[in-house]
Amino acid sequence: MTAKVILNPYSNRWNSQARWPQAEAALKAAGVDFEVVISQKKGAIVGLAEEAARSGFSPIIAAGGDGTIGETINGMVRAAGSMDKPIGPLGILPLGSANDLVVNLGLPKDLNEAAKVIAAGKTDLIDLCQCNDRYFVNNSAAGLEPYVTTKQEKIHWIKGILRYLVAAVQGIMDRPSWNAKMEWDGGSYSGPLSLVSIGNTRLTGGVFYMTPHADPRDGKLTFTYGYRPTRLSLFQALPRAMKPGEGNYVELDGIHEVHATRLSIQLDKPSPAHTDGELFLMPVTALNYAIFPKRLQILL
C-alpha cells in the first residue's frame, strides 16, 4: 500500500524542511512507496492525518518531532472514531530537535536507518494515553514542566538541548506553584504542587527523565508529582531529573512516582499544560487522564 508522509516544516525551528530532501532520498532508497503532504500552518497536521487515514494510506509517517507525532496520532484517532481497536500503523522520520519517542523506543535517529525500519514493515503495539480531549504517546504535564516550555519557546538564540536547560533555569527562578487536588485508582493527594508529569515513556525534553520508570507496554500511566518549596530545592532536583536510573529526582523528599490507569487533577489557578510537547491553547485548571493499552500500532 502507499504510505502518506506528513511533513511538519516547522519542526526544530524549520530545520525539518531543510532536511526533507535527505529524508525523501532515504525513503526512495529503501523502496518505500509514498506520497507527501506538507503542513501549511500550526495545527493542520491533525486534519491531514485524519484525511490520510480515511483515504486508506498505510502506513502514515510523521516527519517531524514529538509534537508532529502527537498531532498525527490525534488525526488517526479521529478517523478511527473509537479506541475499540488499535490505530496505525505509524512510521516516524525523526526531524525534530529532541525526538524523545524515537529515543525511548530505540528507533534510529539516522534518516536512512529510519527509512529502512519503515520499509521493513515490522510493527509492535504500545499504549496510547489521553488527556482531556487530546491523545498522546510520549508524555504530558502541568505545572513547572510546561511552564518551562513557555520559556523555551521564547528562546531563539540557542539551539538544541541547551535551549531546554536554559529554559529550565529560567522557570525555576520564577518558582511557580499551585494547590492541587489529585485522584487516581488507589490514591489521592491534596496540597501544594510544583509539578506533575505523566509519562508513557521515560525521557522528555531530550535530557529529562521525568517519569523514570514508565513503560509504554504496561497498560499504566506513570506520573510523578511533588512540591519543592524553594528555588534551591528545585535546582537540587534539576540535575537529578537527568539521571535515568538510581539517583533520579523521584527519590527526593516531596516527590512521588505512581503507576495508575487514571488520574484527575484540579488546580486552584490556571497552569500551562502540554501533550507531547504541544502546549494547550489556554492554561487549564482541570486535567483528566486515561490510558488505552496497546492501542497504537507502530513500526519498530
155: confidence class by pLDDT, cuts 50, 70, 90: confident
CB distance 75 to 90 below 8 Å = no
Q: What was the pLDDT predicted at 164? A: 81
Question: pLDDT at residue 43 above 90?
Answer: no
- Looking at residue 90, its pLDDT comes to 98
Asked which of 8-12, 36-40, 134-138, 259-263 is least confident by mean pLDDT, the reply is: 8-12
Q: Quickly state the pLDDT bin for 1 (edges 50, 70, 90).
A: confident
Structural domain harbouring 146: 139-291
| Rounded distance between C-alpha atoms, residue 226 and residue 192, angstroms | 8
- Pair 113, 145 in one domain: no
- Do 145 and 281 fall within a single domain? yes
Q: What is the pLDDT of residue 11?
A: 87
Q: State how far the Cα of 291 lies from the Cα of 211, in Å rounded to an integer.
A: 15
Q: What is the pTM of this model?
A: 0.95
Nearest to 206 by CA among 142, 162, 170, 237: 162
Q: What is the mean pLDDT of the chain?
A: 96
8's enclosing H/E stretch is none
Give Cβ neighbours of residue 18 (< 8 Å, ≥ 6 apart): none
Amino acid in the structure at residue 82: S
Q: Is 240 helix (H, G, I), strand (E, B) or coil?
A: helix
Does residue 300 lie in a domain region? no
Does the residue 130 lie in any domain?
A: no
Residue 121 is predicted with a pLDDT of 97
- pLDDT over threshold 90, residue 49: yes
Supply the pLDDT for residue 235.
Answer: 96
Q: For 163-215, write each residue's pLDDT tens digit.
A: 888 999 999 999 999 999 999 998 999 999 999 999 999 999 889 999 999 99
Alpha-carbon distance of 90 to 62, in angstroms, equals 7
Task: Give, for 131, the enclosing helix (H) or strand (E).
Answer: strand 123-131
If you write DSSP's letter for every residue of 47-81 in order, what string do you get? HHHHHHHHTT-SSEEEEESHHHHHHHHHHHHHHH-
Section 29-49 average pLDDT: 95
**DSSP count for the chain of H helices, then E strands:** 8, 16
Q: Are residues 71 and 167 in the same domain?
A: no
- State the CATH number of the domain containing residue 75: 3.40.50.10330
CATH number at residue 163: 2.60.200.40
DSSP state of 136: E
- For the record, the C-alpha cell of 85 comes out as 481497536
What's the confidence (pLDDT) of residue 274? 97
CA distances from 85 to 47, 88, 127, 159, 259 (A): 21, 10, 12, 40, 23
Domain count, the chain: 2
Whether residue 72 lies inside any domain: the answer is yes
Q: What percent of the chain has pLDDT over 90?
A: 88
Domain membership of residue 275 (yes or no) is: yes
Residues 165 and 80 in one domain: no
Residue 161 scores a pLDDT above 90: no
87-118 pLDDT per residue, tens? 999 999 999 988 999 999 999 999 999 999 99
Please tell me whether residues 230 and 175 are part of one structural domain.
yes
